[in-house]
Every structure is written in structure tokens, then in C-alpha cells.
Amino acid sequence: MNKKIVRISALFVLISTCALAQKKGIVLPVADELKEVVISDSKFALPKEKSGKVIVKITADDLRKRPGQSVAAVLSTVAGVEVNGNQSRNGKDLGLFIRGGRGHQVLILIDGVPVTDASGISLSYDLRLLSADQVESIEVMKGAASTLYGSGAATGVINITLKKAAKKAIAGNVYMNVGTQTTARDKDYSAQDYNQGFSFNGKSEKFNYFASLNSTETTGISEAKPALDTENFEADHFSRVNSIVKFGFTPNKKLALDFFASYDKIKNDFDSGSFADNADNFASSEQYRVGFSPKYKYTNGEIVLNASANVMDRALFNYGSFSYYKSRSVNADLFNKYSILPELFLVTGAQFQFHEMSNKSDYVDIRTELAHFNMIDPYVTAVYNSDFGFNFNAGARYTIHSMFGNNWVFNLNPSYAIPNTPVKLLASYSSAFIAPSLYQLYSSYGDLNLSPEKDKTLEAGFELELLNKKLNFTAIAFLRDEIDAIGFDLSTYKYYSLAGVNKARGFETMFSYQLTSKLKWSANYTFTEMEKQSRVLNPKHKVNSAIDFQATERLAFGATYQFVSDRYNEFSTYGPAPDFETIVNSEILKDYQLVNANIRYTVIKNRLNLFAAADNILNKDFVEARGFSTKGRNFKLGLNITL
């Protein structure tokens, strides 16, 4: 799809909509604010105060206060979450870590459906494929969650909900923003980051629809960082197109049928590694997803089916030759909620997953008939919510894996809101099962003798609500044991199972205070201590703080602060000819601090909004990943129009 057409179309609709808004001057009623609910720890809506898990809910309002930010940037401000690469040039590959875990230990859901790239190193989802402008809300649930979500949910689950149909028959949204893309050294403040898109949606008594298109283009920064100030590396380009269509049919109050189809494509230049420029390398990824989700409500419960399929095509041009990757994944998760008593319900279900991949290059030929596996998982979870403050969530899952046999996982999660006090106690003990990815098994770096990783996580803490719920404070400590943790040997360039028990431990604190009706302050601190295989690029200490001030009905300001401590890093180099012996080196990446700010202005209430944002205001030159560029002071301007 031609990205210029997308930009021109967005601009045309933007101008037309603006004119319409000025003419009508309509002020839409604001929906009553609903009581906050979460779904991640039971798969069904549950009041947050009844949940015994540590779940961070990033609402639509929270996202509106972070205009111009990527999904990775938003996630990196959550306690216990680190997204390495998010401070580098737009398009840099990302590493997602929760509580010191690695990428294959985090499961990402989109609208409740698992998303993955079966040809990827760790079966993980590439967050670069997703546009924040299409996201309605995000739930981050930390701790092992394999009981409900299966293999891969060892350190946490990120449940991303995309925008959906409004309550009107016809509605729409158009947005456009332009920004700079420069390092602290270069200070080139020309416009080099463009993001634009639009959506149309509507709802009637029985039908609803939603369609969205987004386009992003960025250049200006080299992925690799020059080792010397006198060197100049060429800028690396990144582009992305996102499109999604949703359709829903509700024939009666009991039955709802939802369908979706999406297409995402990214193309980006990349370099040859740390401090190594390359003007020829590029990569492209195309993702196709379709899904069907019927829901049926009956007297004491509800039955849901989440069925989806996705195909991923990737191509890399590196060192003068192409590598082609293709993967296919199928997911079908059928589950039922049955209320035995008003305070007790049971979730029973069974999930089927199938993954296959192929990889072809001048040096490798992995075919789909070889590289594939499937899983069938029956599971059960019981949720008890008493009227005296005690809640209990317990469950088990039995995984039947086509390559790794049968495995049990479990979850025990009590919590207690002490009556007549502002204190809620939390605890959980849960296990997880993580199968090696197809890449870790069948690639030239893989090993068919790898064992599945088995994790156990213990956590305990408390929540406080004071000053008529204006002040909230949460503290949680965790300990995770990893058995047969999957590591990568930098000497042999092979994946292997680490002998013994690998441990990760730490604690998190989260704080928010509504100082006045117009001023809110929030902050979090994470301490994480890990053994060798887990601590690469994970900071031991991390602090986030944010303040938001609604100065007037139309004008608002926001500012954030982030501190990331020293990080331990390992990398390999080669000795002199003729042996070129591999040498494993270690390095401490120094801590850094970032200050960001934005200003938001409503020109026409519920119609036209403008924003201006500045990131890394102090223009700090820091290291996120050794030998790669990071962003300096950058600016962004944007507008959003709602029909």
C-alpha cells in the first residue's frame, strides 16, 4: 500500500472533519465513568478490588495523556517492565522483560487472543507491528499465568485491547503528528517522523463495525552508533502500515458474534551490529491475522470461543544475501464461566495451539513439514469473592505437547481486604511451563535436545487506599525459580538448557496521589536481582514518576521522569587470524535519566485536540544497548479530530 496515499487521505479527511466540527460545534456527552474492572486473571470482567493479582491497567484516558508515544514507550513506564530498544531509533528491534525474565516468558494478547511469530527466536510478538493509535487500553498482569494462558506466560501477560465501535451509528477519528528524530550529538531538528491515520466505526441495535488505517514513516538516526565522534553513519529508515477491520453481530441479548481481520507491515533498514554501519541491510515483516469470537450468555454463566489464525512473512537482506522466514499459528480457546454461587464461579476450558515455521537462505533450508508442534491444554480455575474481604483464585492446567509430553501447572492466589482498614493483602504461588521455540530447536543455533523450562513464582505484598481513595500504594515482593532455563552460549552460538535452578527476585512499589481535582502524581520503583542468564540488559533499579495537571477545562500539562540503573551486558568479539577465536566480554552499561513533557489543548470539546511533546528534554547522551544509537532531545506536534 502506498504510504503517501494514506497520508494524503488522512489529511483530506482531517480538513473535511475539522470544517464539519467547526460548523456543527457539537459537544458530545461524556459517558459516565464505570467502575474499573480487569479481565486478565480470570478471563472475565472482575472488579479490580476483587483481584488478588498485581494488575496495572493503562486506560484510554492514560493513553490520551501520553500522546505520540509508542506502545513500547508506554509499557516501559510500568513497574517491573523493561523494553530495551524503545529509546533507540524508531524501528530498532525490541527486547521485552518482566521482572528480570526474558522475551519467551512474556505472553502478549490482543483482544484476548495470543499473538506470536512462530519463526521468531522466542515465539514472542514484535511490538513494532502495533500502532499505539489503535490501542484502547492495556492490562499488565505480572507473575506466572500459565494456568489460564499456557506456555509462555511465566513472568507476565500483557493484554492489549484495540479500539472498537462507538455507541453512535456513524463515528470516526482522524489524527496526524509530525516529529523530529535525532540523537543528542546530531541535534537535527528537522521533521523526520510522520504518523497519520483514521478510523470509521458505528453501532446499531444488532450490528457494530470498526475499521482503522495507520501509516508511520521515520528516518534520521543510524541504528548503529559511531565509535568515534568523527565518524558519520547513514540514517536508517523505518515504515509501518496497520489496518484492521472488526465486525460484530448481536442477534439477541444472549449471543454475540465478533470477527476481525488485520494486516500489518513494517520495513526497516538495520546495521551490522554494535558500532558497525551498513547501508545495504534491510528487513520486512508482513502479518496477516483473522479471528472469530462468539460469546453466549446463559442463566448462570457465559461460554466464549477465541479462535484465530495468523501468518507471518519476514525477509532479511544481510551480508549480501536474503533469508526468508514464514510462520503460521492457529489458536482456539473455548472456555466457560459458571456461577455456582453469587460469590463463587468456575472457569473451565480447553485450548489448542499449532505453530509451524520455515526458513530458507543460501545456508539454511528449514521446511514446515519438519519445524512444527502443537499443544492441547484443558484447564480449570475457581474464583471465590466473599462479602467479608477474602478472595481466592486457584487453578490448574494440563499441557499435552506434541514434542515435550505432558506437563502440569497450577496457581494459588489468596487475597484479603481487612475489614474497616485501608489494607489489602496479596499472595500467590504459581508455576509455568515454557516450551522451546521452533527457532531454538531447528535453526542452525538450535538444539533438538533442549528441555522445556519450568518456573515457579512466589509473591506477596499489600495495597493501601487512603484519603478517600485519593492515595494508593502497592508493594509486592517476588521470587522466581527457573529450572532448565534456556540460555544462549556466546562461545558456541548455541541455545542450551542451563543446569540447576536459576533465580530471580525483587520487589515493586507503585504510588499514586490525586493531590487536587486537577493535579495527579504517580510513581513506581522496581528492584530486580537475577542470576547470570537473566540479567542481561535488565536494570537492578528502575524509577518512573509522572505528574499530570489539568490547568483549565481545555489546557493540560504532563511530565515524566525515568531513571534506569547500571546494567550488566555480555558480548562476543573475535581474536586475531587465523583462528578468529570467540572471546566473551562483559561490560557495565552506565545508568541514565530521562525527562519528558507534553502539553495538550482542546480546541473544540470532544472534537479537536492538539498536542506538543518533548522527549529527553535534557538532551542526555546515554547507552541503552552497547554500540547502538539512542534518541536525544526530540519534539512532536499532533492533532486529533473526532467525528
Could you tell me the pTM of the whole model? 0.91
Give the start-to-end residue ranges of the domains of the chain.
38-642
Mean pLDDT of 584-599: 94
Name the pLDDT band for 539 (thresholds 50, 70, 90).
very high
Of the candidates 505, 512, 484, the one whose C-alpha atom is nearest the C-alpha of residue 496 is 484
**pLDDT tens column, 438-467:** 999 999 899 999 999 999 999 999 999 999
HSE (side-chain half, CA atoms, 13 Å) at 341: 8
Cell, residue 339? 456461577
Helix (H) or strand (E) holding 55: strand 55-58
Per CATH, which fold does 38-642 belong to?
Maltoporin; Chain A (2.40.170)
Please, which residues bridge with residue 503 across strands? 481
- pLDDT at residue 430 is higher than 80: yes
**pLDDT tens column, 317-347:** 998 899 999 999 999 999 999 999 999 999 9
Q: What is the pLDDT of residue 114?
A: 92
What are the φ/ψ torsions at residue 630 (nearest 5 degrees)?
Answer: -130, 160
Cell, residue 61? 484516558
Look at the block and give the residue holding cell 508482513. Answer: 286
- pLDDT at residue 307 is higher than 70: yes
Name the pLDDT band for 369 (thresholds 50, 70, 90).
confident
In whole numbers, what is the pLDDT of the chain averaged over residues?
90
- pLDDT at residue 359 is higher than 70: yes
- pLDDT at residue 579 is higher than 80: no
Do 76 and 83 contact (CB within 8 A), yes or no? yes
Helix intervals (H) in 238-367? none
Rg for the chain (alpha carbons), in Å?
A: 24
Write out the E strands in 453-576.
453-466, 471-483, 486-489, 494-497, 501-514, 519-530, 541-549, 555-564, 567-574
Q: What is the pLDDT of residue 187?
A: 85
Helix then strand count (H, E) for the chain reads 5, 36
Q: Is the dihedral of CA 160, 310, 116, 276 positive or negative?
A: negative
**pLDDT tens column, 61-86:** 999 999 999 999 999 999 999 999 99
Is the bond into 576 cis (omega within 30 degrees of 0)? no
Q: Is 557 exposed, middle or buried (0-12, 13-18, 19+ CB in 10 A)?
A: middle
- pLDDT at residue 2 is higher than 70: no
**pLDDT tens column, 232-266:** 999 999 999 999 999 999 999 999 999 999 999 99
Please, which residues bridge with residue 582 across strands? 574
Name the pLDDT band for 610 (thresholds 50, 70, 90).
very high
